[in-house]
Amino acid sequence: MSIWEKLAEPFGREDIHWRVGFRSERGDRGSALAYIEARAVMDRLDTVVGPEGWASEVSPIFENGALTGAKCRLTLFLESGEVWREDIGAASEGEALKGAASDALKRAAVQYGIGRYLYNLPGTWVDLDGNGRLSETPELPDWALPAEEVQARQQAEPAPRRARTGEGAPARGTRPRAAWRN
């Protein structure tokens, strides 16, 4: 498997977080958006290229004297040479620079394929609780999970029960009553 394929592998359920995107007009339902945190990106980079195999450089962005975001340059040090990607992130409320740096790192990492598949998840609307948060966690499709998690889920699911004669299936040589004609 190439470095690019390893970087693009799906994350486990424990690394996927959810937030509300759009809200219904009544505000009781919302679109569930999946995301990963910056630490999951760092862990993936450490695992695939090693802690010495990558670096990030963050530069704050100011508009009219106010911090509005940050730019992150994410560099991979490969045998073939350095490869870098840049992207920007928006400042968040509270710790503006920290939020902007994390957002920019995640966005730059998507350009390497890290977490990019999350943008392809089907749209899911769920009920919101009294605080406007998702009331349930959406289920990820098999293609959006690591192979070992899919296998574990399949092994945990009971095998479908097959009907035997006399248990809902007509006996051989008979027709169900609904098919009888008068």
* pLDDT tens string 97-135: 999 999 999 999 999 999 999 999 998 999 999 999 999
CA distance 152 to 147: 9
pLDDT at 174: 40
First to last CA, the chain: 65
Multiple choice CATH, 3-179, 3.30.420.40, 3.30.390.80, 3.40.50.720, 3.30.70.2190:
3.30.390.80
At residue 94, does pLDDT exceed 90? Answer: no
Q: How far is CA 115 from CA 72, 160, 162, in A?
A: 17, 33, 39
pLDDT at 125: 94
Mean pLDDT of 145-152: 92
Mean pLDDT of 46-69: 97
At residue 44, does pLDDT exceed 50? Answer: yes
Q: What is the helix (H) or strand (E) element at residue 41, kind and residue range?
A: helix 38-49
Instruction: Decide: 150 and 142 in contact? Cβ < 8 Å.
Output: yes
